[in-house]
Amino acid sequence: MSVYQNTSAMLKRLSKDANRITFSYLSISLLLLLFMVQSCGNSAEDSSDAFKVALLTPGPVSDAGWNASAYEGLQLIGTTIGAEVSQIETRTPADFEQGFRDYAGAGYDLIFGHGFEFQDAAATVSESFPGSVFITSSGTTVRDNVAPIVFEIEQATYLLGMISAYQSKSRKIGAVGGIEIPSVKSSFDAFAAGARSVDPEISVVVSYIGNWEDAGAAKEATLALMDQGIDFIFHNADAAGLGVFQAAQERGSVFVFGSNKNQNDIAPDVILASAVLSIPTAMLTVAREVQNGSFSPSIRRLGMAENVVTLVINSKLRDRVPIEVWDAVAESEGKIRSGELTVPRGF
Amino acid sequence: MDVVIFAGIAHAGASFALPLLLAALGEIFAERSGVVNIGLEGMMLSGALGGMIGSYFTGSAWLGLGIGMATGVFLAVIFSTAAVHFGADQIVAGTAVNILALGLTGVVYRRVFGITGSTLSVESFDAVEIPLIHDLPMVGALFSGHTPPVYIGFLLVPIAAWVLFRTTLGIKIRAVGEHPLAADTAGIRVQFIRHGCTLFSGAMAGCAGAYLSVAHANTFVEGMSAGRGFIALAIVIFGRWHPFWALGAALLFGIANALQFQFQAAGSAVPYQFFLMLPYLLTLLVLVIFASRTYPPAALARAYARR
């Protein structure tokens, strides 16, 4: 009897173990299958001689702003010059480097790192892959095969600062940022400079949330600014910036500005204007140069004069601001275009 | 500082605290039954997407909240199957859920709403003011003028404490988490209780996520949970696996967060990184002070199988 019981217990245990083993076996084979499918895909790509372009973004491309524009640029390159394109999202400096290395190793001819923060990784990886060109969006680092495209968004944020200073009742304006990287800080400094060109005494407050995704935190940061009486707010926080618009919609009585892409339609009742960058056309220009061999490594500064940076006013709210203000803004815009007025830059 | 700012801090503090509280309440049940569900972050993120999609397509914020909860439960079923049924390592299984959710939400969001983001606003909740409490200074802004989910979250605290410490079910849950073999011997269905508690934690995390997207930000952003799931895990430990302490911990963290944004908004010359660090620093400090008196459930993170 006891032998029987022991056997039965043992069988039970064995079947439990078998269960577990089956589970592990299934999971592992599923993973292997996935890898196989993926590597098949890769080898198929390697065999073609097409011009290959890749993009690393610091956040999700569904942000309707900075990263979305770059994704559109990549697609434009794909459709216009028939390049093979690929994109990944990278969050940490280690990811940046790994991303560059993976694409360069896979024979990509041109790799965009979309942000100031990609410079170091681009410089490091570029030495091992002289056959690939690395372009960072904003930055100062130049090597034989590394160069930045600097979007002079400051020219537009300067004008946004002017509008704010003309219209602010509390004489307090603010900005919400993701992380304080030089390109973001520079856009805020120009916003402040534009405001001070109108009202030297105006107070400009900047608040950072510490990442690019936390829309809830961005909303609370904006509400906190409003509690302080701030009535004009610019954001440069990518996806989290949506929280800024949400706060403005909820409270009303403030105006906000869009950044990097025309965001006026996202919250047409509160977004007065957007500082817009034509990131796709700039990316296409560089891609064409790399493809036909005319690329030379240098810092490309693209601003209002090149029609890459524009100020887009929300037509629905245009009447809320006196015509004299728009005239003054248009005058300054003309001076920026002609080079008569130089907007301060952080780097 | 004036009244507006005090009220702002109290209101923002409650808004920050609520998702942490909801997720922590669920996690208390899971951990009391012996299961560490570190997949909270992933369940919260999927709950945020589920809630947003639900609210968008049904036009009802309440249905959105429900669908967000269901999304959390869906991930919890995967986690529970691996960790409770098959006895897989809970930390590994939970991490897998987090990674899965991060990718899955991105794919689904872009499938449904377009790759570069159409940034929709969804149906949301209206704020409700509680008659008498609303007029109280400070406390009024903390406990009144919120959306309905916030009140439900606060009300859940005593209910959770009652279930856990005053009902037979609560005794069973705690027994399973302290000594599953003894509980099993006494005729308590260990695996059943653990599955139930894990699914409950998934539902609460999903609800917390849906609160973020439907009631707070009113839109979905990839990665919008931004580490709140992990903070909720810390709050469970900080709150000594007790709903009331968890409420205190969540409010402390929430108000510290609200405070730091007010400091930044006041235009201080101190680097902003210091302010961003403040809530974590404060939590750490309190944790150090109270740490010596905490006792986690004895069978925490240990799989149970009949021998």
Q: What are the boundaries of each domain within chain B?
A: 3-121+159-293
Q: What is the reported pLDDT for A157? A: 97
Residues of B in contact with A207 (CB under 8 A): 261, 264-265, 272
* Cα–Cα distance measured from residue A219 to residue A206, given in angstroms and rounded to the nearest whole number: 14
Q: What is the pLDDT of residues B267-301, one digit of tens each?
A: 877 888 888 888 888 878 877 877 666 788 988 98
Q: What is the reported pLDDT for A62? A: 86
Q: What are the boundaries of each domain within chain A?
A: 1-47, 52-151+281-291+296-301, 154-277+317-338
Q: Look at B276 and A209 and tell me if their CB atoms are within 8 Å.
A: yes
Residue B151: burial class (beta carbons within 10 Å; 0-12, 13-18, 19+): middle
Q: What is the reported pLDDT for A36? A: 47
pLDDT, mean of residues B213-223: 90
DSSP B110-159: HHHH-TT--------PPPB--HHHHTSTTHHHHHSSB-HHHHHHHHHHHH
Cβ atoms of A237 and A177 within 8 Å: the answer is yes
Contacts 24+ apart (CB under 8 A), A144-150: A144/A297, A145/A297, A146/A119, A146/A122, A146/A297, A147/A297, A147/A298, A147/A299, A147/A300, A148/A119, A148/A299, A148/A300, A149/A282, A149/A283, A149/A286, A149/A300, A149/A302, A150/A299, A150/A300, A150/A301, A150/A302
Rounded average pLDDT per 10-residue block, chain A, 347 residues:
50 54 57 48 52 94 90 96 94 94 96 95 95 94 94 96 96 95 94 96 95 93 94 94 93 92 92 95 94 92 93 94 95 95 86
Cβ atoms of A42 and A106 within 8 Å: the answer is yes
Cβ atoms of A310 and A121 within 8 Å: the answer is no
Tell which CATH architecture fits domain B3-121+159-293: Orthogonal Bundle (1.10)
Instruction: Identify the band that residue B203 occupies on the pLDDT scale cut at 50, 70 and 90.
Output: very high
CB atoms within 10 A of CB A161: 31
Q: Look at A221 and B82 and tell me if their CB atoms are within 8 Å.
A: no
Q: What is the reported pLDDT for A25? A: 56
How many residue pairs bridge chain A and chain B with CB atoms within 8 Å of each other? Answer: 139
CATH 3.40.640.10, domain A52-151+281-291+296-301, yes or no: no
* Cα–Cα distance measured from residue B141 to residue B6, given in angstroms and rounded to the nearest whole number: 8
Domains A52-151+281-291+296-301 and A154-277+317-338 share a fold: yes
Q: Is B132 on the interface with A (CB under 8 A)?
A: no
CB atoms within 10 A of CB A271: 25
CA atoms within 13 A on the CB side of A317: 18
Q: Look at A213 and B272 and tell me if their CB atoms are within 8 Å.
A: no
pLDDT, mean of residues B162-182: 95
Handedness of CA B51, B71, A92, A110 (dihedral sign): negative
Q: Is B276 on the interface with A (CB under 8 A)?
A: yes
Q: What is the reported pLDDT for A17? A: 56
The fold of the A154-277+317-338 domain, in CATH, is Rossmann fold (3.40.50)
